[in-house]
Amino acid sequence: MLRNYFKIAFRNLSQSKGYSALTIFGLALGLAVSLLSILYVADELSYDRYHEKVDRIYRINSDISFSLKGIQTARSPTPMGQTLKRDFPEVEEATRLGKYGSHLVKSDHTIIRENGVLYADSTVFDVFTLPMLAGNPKKALTEPQSVVITARTATKYFGTTDALNRVLVFDDNDVRRVTGVIEDLPAQSHVQGDFILPLHETKDAKVNKWGNHIFNTYVLLRPGTNPQLVEAKFERILQTYVDPALQRFFNTTLAETRKAGNYFNYSLMPLTRIHLYSDRDGELSPNNSIEYVYLFLVIALFILLIAVFNFINLTTARSAKRAREVGVRKVAGSTRAELVLQFLSESLLTTFFALLVGIGLVYFLLPMFNTLAAKNLTFNQLIEAPSILYLLAGSGAIGILAGLYPALYLSSFKPITALKGKLWVMPGRQSLRNYLVVFQFSLSVLLIIGTLLINQQMQYIQTKKLGFNKEQVVVINTAQSTEQEVTTFKHEVLRSPAIKTGTVSGFLPVTSNRWNDMWYAENETDQKQSVGMEEWQVDPDYIATLGMQLLKGRNFTAGRLADKQAVIINESAAKRFGYQNPVGKSIHLTGGEKLTIIGVVKDFHYESLRNTIEPLGLVVDASMLGGHIEPYLSAVSFRLNTTDVASALATIEKTWKQIAPDRPFAYSFLNDDFDAMYRAEQRTEQLFMAFAVIAILIACLGLFGLSAFAAEQRQKEIGVRKVLGASIPGIVALLSKDFLKPVLIAIVIASPIAWWATHTWLQDFAYKVDIGWWVFALAGILSIGIALLTVSFQSVKAALMNPVKSLRNE
């Protein structure tokens, strides 16, 4: 019997190829989006779960407030890990991880600038699961001048994974021996790197102070330990270690700090929550947000619902053609249950074909999706044995749910009415179809408005005056170069007429992971009046090269010794210090280090537009700050004086090769680095646009089905109107206006929801566009236009039909 049902179902699908194609393709699109979403969400939720002790690993986060400016960082004090292991019996092991930017790595035949260099304690192998292919994990990072590398790195530098005891040179003179080869770190890890160097050999590790937040600290708790009980004991750490450090270095106490409105808090974050729930300063790699994952999942679910509703609309639209079949079967003795099973069989078969087409769409769309989502998902993940079973079960459930209403509807026809062709439609059922279209277009309008608003915000970011000129600035990474090399390189490049200006600096307006200190105005010592301010080491050409505006005072002068104790502050700093005429005034740190203000630069955005502009100071000699910040000059930036960028780059590279022939030439453009801060938003915009197009396409298929249904039901009415003299444009208008109502209702429903959603998203930006009425108007016009174009085909087709055909039974 069941076999017969599927045979009849296949025959019916074959006889109505057009409708079958629309039904299958619409459902396939929805299934394809759902499958891509499942792959994406599964990948996001799998981060860091490969570690054997994952349930017991936690990172120590720090929440610190200086000068009433809160800092949320993934780093913790240098001694934190070992102190917890010593003082807290609940802590089984602790380890630290850190990164120091890029390094030059050289073997006998290869030299590459690498960004994936990690520093770790030897206990890293006791906390994390890092399978060692060669070497002893207990000794690999305890031996002097050692390095542990991944298998792919061993192959890249030595042509084989058998790299034990081979030599790598870091930054020209740091010779290290490979003491271990580990498996490549999975992509689903918040820690990414190809080299692990001993952390205890770094200068920062040797300065073992509670005021130094340099490394990420991870602890492995003993089995059965309640992490909340461990967190409750952190107050003991604050009183025992942090309070004396504050007294020693900042001449204050923990109690006074809290009284002034500032704070020190430490907390434990489960390892598996870092990737989706943490966006702190000092992250080892960029993380995603659980909000984006939820948004992605909800949109995919809505698109699948649109596809399912399409199936319902397109199936019921064919009801008039299936009426006589139902009547004959009922007269021949078929029960309603048997008819329901027959139509459900047809639904299941349609869903199965849609699944096959959907899997094919995933195969072709996956590379594009990987690019948009910045992923490396594989098609094999979808067609593995367990996945296939889930897909079949899921598609079967969708087929039953999607086919249940059409099956009950079609099987409810009375045989006499159906055989006479006098099929009438119950108002409630017709309303249901309209409700489905309203739902479909509400989601489509929501996605259109979201896409327009995100695009508008991104355009605003690109065109907003930033306080500096990011165009035509090329940045050369000179980390690990000597001061003499950098100075010579800058002066030699400036000889070229293609270069306008150049500057050597430690920070640029797109640099991340910065820190701030507590500064005081003249004669001020009250912690409540302190100002949290960052200090950047620059040279006298920094302001001119980056196109900044000096509002008051003067710039630094090359060779002027007094400028070593001078600072140029921004407008925000001047306001926070309470200086109306700051030039000539001084500011000082808690330890007494003093700088004289010689100028005020116009506020410029040195972080993402999500953040407000905070106090900032520019200095030419960071060594005068008593070790609060290290002298740090890692980049040379040149403003080009030509449109021939390739020629200018060739000149810069030629000069670089003359000064540093053994080092690779690495550069970037400042505007590209600026755009990189908004990659997440750019991906969101592109995904929204893709989803909006798919949702509109599927919704139009549903509207096409509804217009076909309406035209089919009103054939006799149209015939009568034509006989009475109605024109074709009049009939087209008559049929089309009925479909404007659900679309207009959809616009009304979607607009306030879209306003709330986009308003909430924009709250992440300190500087943002206003949500204008024109966005909703444009979305409404687009939706109405698309709807009219969709239904016009069926309306024109119905209007051109010969009235004799529709009235011959009367």
**591, 597, 603, 604 alpha-carbon torsion, rounded to 10°:** -70
| Per-residue pLDDT at 665 | 85
Q: Which residue intervals of 284-335 are DSSP H helices?
A: 290-317, 319-331
pLDDT one-digit tens code per residue, 370-399: 988 888 888 888 877 677 777 778 788 887
Mean pLDDT of the 684-696 span = 84
Helix 728-762 vs helix 773-799: crossing angle, to nearest 10: 150
C-alpha torsion angle, residues 495, 496, 500, 504 (rounded to 10)? -60
The mean pLDDT value of the chain amounts to 84
Q: Which residues pair with 636 in a beta bridge?
A: 476, 504
Q: In the structure encoding, which two tokens stand for residue 312, read together?
A: 């319902």
Q: Which stretches does DSSP call E strand in 590-664?
A: 594-601, 616-619, 635-640
Torsion of CA 217, 221, 226, 227, to 10 degrees: 0
Cα radius of gyration (the chain): 34
The answer to whether residue 575 scores a pLDDT higher than 60 is yes
H or E stretch including 521? strand 517-521
- pLDDT category, 627, cuts 50, 70, 90? very low
- Distance between CA atoms of 413 and 325, rounded to whole angstroms? 10
Residue 5 has pLDDT above 70, yes or no: no
Q: List the one residue out of 477, 501, 475 whose CA is nearest residue 641.
A: 501
Banded model confidence at residue 697, pLDDT cuts 50, 70, 90: confident
Type and span of the H or E element at 15: helix 2-15
Residue 407's pLDDT is: 66
Query: Long-range CB contacts (< 8 A, 24+ apart) of 658-663?
Result: 658/492, 659/485, 659/488, 659/489, 659/492, 660/481, 660/485, 660/489, 662/106, 662/111, 662/172, 663/104, 663/111, 663/113, 663/172, 663/481
Name the residue ranges covered by the structural domains of the chain. Answer: 1-46+301-422, 54-226+267-277, 425-466+676-810, 473-675
Each residue of 597-632: b (16+ CB within 10 Å) or e?
bbbbbebbbbbbbeeebbbbbbbbebebbeebbeee
In tens, the pLDDT along 170-194 reads 987 889 999 999 999 999 999 999 9
- Taking the C-alpha atoms of residue 60 and residue 81, their distance in angstroms, rounded to an integer, is 9
pLDDT at 628: 46
Residue 317: C-alpha distances to residues 313, 322, 329, 351, 710 (Å): 6, 10, 20, 18, 8
Residue 468 CA to residue 602 CA, distance in Å, equals 9
Residue 279 makes CB contacts below 8 A (sequence gap 6+) with: 287, 289
Most confident of 175-179, 456-460, 515-519: 175-179
Taking residues 355-366, report their average pLDDT.
91
Residue 374 and residue 683 in contact, taking contact as beta carbons nearer than 8 Å:
yes
From residue 108, how far is each of 157, 660, 663, 774 by CA, in Å? 8, 18, 14, 63
426: pLDDT strictly greater than 70:
no
The tens digit of pLDDT for each residue in 754-783 reads: 999 899 988 888 888 998 888 899 998 988
Beta-strand pair 473-477/667-669: antiparallel
pLDDT tens for each residue of 87-127 = 999 999 999 999 887 888 998 888 888 888 999 999 999 99
435 Cβ neighbours under 8 A, 6+ residues apart: 742
